[in-house]
Structure 1
Amino acid sequence: MSEELRREYEIGAQIGRGRFGTVYRCVSAETGEEFAVKSIEKALLADIIDRECVEREAKIAQHAAAGNPRAVQVQDVYEDEEWLHVVMELCPGPDLFDRISGRGEPLSEAEAAVVMAQLMEAVAVCHQRGVAHRDIKPDNVLFDRVGGLKLADFGSAECFGDGRPMRGLVGTPYYVAPEVVAGRDYDEKVDVWSAGVVLYIMLSGMPPFYGDTAVEIFEKVLRANLRFPTRIFRTVSPAAKDLLRRMLCKDVSRRFSAEQVLGHPWITSGGGLRPAEEEAN
């Protein structure tokens, strides 16, 4: 582990493990403030592509998080011939996946609307900066000490802009957009699709496109036949279902942008839009 890092931070217990590295709790020697540090030993990377991937992750995370209150902030980056360390904001609470699975029942619309508004705030800023996250899922939605949402893990993120499309099967099967599965060029709206899947799960406790294998899931995603089983969605408002249809829209030209999601009445009302108010809108 880098000597410079050890001089400036006291390294504590392991708190996580990712695709390329291990995450530890750490404390600033100067201020006593707690952080998390993701440490990657370069010798363990399989090839030059892996090395470029982790180096790009650190750079993109810094760019996407700077001044973005809903993204995990990058405090410091240390690199030498053997190690790459990214010191980040510590988010000690359970992630969104644990919050959903630990309840045993779906979130209320008011709870889900708060989470979705904060998530889309994070995504909107990333998109404004030309960064697509490409792996939005409950596991990558963290919460800080006061309960504020923080988007994490930019390991699959990519920069876009100047008309440059993105390509490549990136993401997690349940959450990946159909244009990604189809192998077509795609844009930042893949993040809106993934966030739509997260919203569906928050409101129902299950994914909208389910399969026992990745192949089966991809087949369901490609068909994009969005359904709202009465048994599960009986108490979910028409406004919430309307937003889900606009986020989980196979036609990318008609799919909402992050900013449009933030402007939807279900979001602006905090998930409390009643039928009479829906008619008025």
Structure 2
Amino acid sequence: MCDSLKQDYNLCEELGRGRFGVVYRCYSAAAATGDAFACKSIHKYSLSTDSTDRRCLDTEPKILRLLSGCPNILRLHDVYEDDEYLHLVTDLCDGGDLYDRVSSGARFTEADAAAILKQLMVAIACCHRLGVAHRDIKPDNILFDSRGKLKLADFGSAELFEISEMSGVVGTPYYVAPEVLMGRNYNEKVDVWSAGVILYIMLAGIPPFYGEGPAETFEAVLRANLRFPTKIFRSVSPEAKDLLRKMICRDVSRRLSAEQVLRHPWIINGGETTSMAD
């Protein structure tokens, strides 16, 4: 373990473990406040030299520093590096993630879904204003702190789109935008598509596009045949469906921007319905 990290923080129990590292709870050795943080320790040699996963060693700290101070984004407090590990000290989010909440298939009330989506879109809009596309918006990367505040995390696939054109297939089958799969250059609105898929799942309990495996799911995404099954969407308001159509829109030029989503009546009214026709 890095000596300077051990001097600055007291590392405690393990919170989670992935393919490339471990997350620990930790406390500042200098502060008397008792505030807890998370330390994500990435093992460098677990990443193959030709893998895009290695990009997180450079990309994630750089992007998190750029986004420092943005609301609803996981804050990076310190970075440490030794021969074997990269250590990222961030906010502690011990309130679980959105994946835990949606994986049961439970459906959210429109008010609850709107509250979550608004926080997510605030984070995405801040990213886009600063020229950052997340490119892997999914429930697993949407965390909650102990007070229930949403924090967007995991910027290992993020890209600075104002510096270079974005291309390459990144993301997760259910949530990836069709233009990403088509192998062409794309823009930051891929994040809006993914957020729209998350909204659909919160309201319906199922994803809008799926198949028996990744290949069939990708085919369904490319067709982008958005449907609202009557049995599932009978109680969902026309306003919510209108927003879904404008976020999960195959035509990128007609797809809403993150800022436009935040100005949609359904978001402004907190999921409360008005008299919009379906």
CA distance in 1, matches of 2:108, 2:236: 11
What TM-score, normalized to structure 2? 0.95
2:95–2:147 Cα contact (<8 Å) kept: no
Equivalent residue number for residue 87 of structure 1: 89
Deviation readout 1:14-58 (Å, 9 max, x if unpaired): 112345321111111112321001101223322165444322111
Deviation readout 1:185-218 (Å, 9 max, x if unpaired): 1000000000000000000000000111100000
Equivalent residue number for residue 129 of structure 1: 130
Regions of 4+ moved over 6 Å: none
CA distance in 2, matches of 1:230, 1:126: 35
Equivalent residue number for residue 29 of structure 2: 29
Could you say which structure has the higher helix fraction? 1
CA distance in 2, matches of 1:96, 1:15: 17
2:55–2:156 Cα contact (<8 Å) kept: no
2:56–2:155 Cα contact (<8 Å) kept: no
Structure 2: stretches of 5+ with no match in the other structure: none
Query: What is the RMSD of the two structures over their aligned residues, measured on CA atoms?
Result: 1.4
Shift of 1:83: 1.9
2:59–2:155 Cα contact (<8 Å) kept: no
Deviation readout 1:221-265 (Å, 9 max, x if unpaired): 000000000000000000000000000000000000000000000
* 1:42 matches 2:59: no
Shift of 1:94: 1.7
CA distance in 1, matches of 2:192, 2:55: 27
Number of residue pairs aligned between Structure 1 and Structure 2: 274
Aligned-pair identity in percent equals 61
Moved more, 205-214 or 74-83: 74-83
What TM-score, normalized to structure 1? 0.94
Shift of 1:117: 0.5
- Aligned partner of 1:71: which letter? I
Equivalent residue number for residue 107 of structure 1: 108
* 1:144 matches 2:168: no
1:20–1:54 Cα contact (<8 Å) kept: no
Q: What's the secondary structure of 1:175's corresponding residue?
A: coil
Structure 1: stretches of 5+ with no match in the other structure: none
Counterpart among 75, 78, 82 of residue 76 in structure 1: 78
Equivalent residue number for residue 183 of structure 1: 183
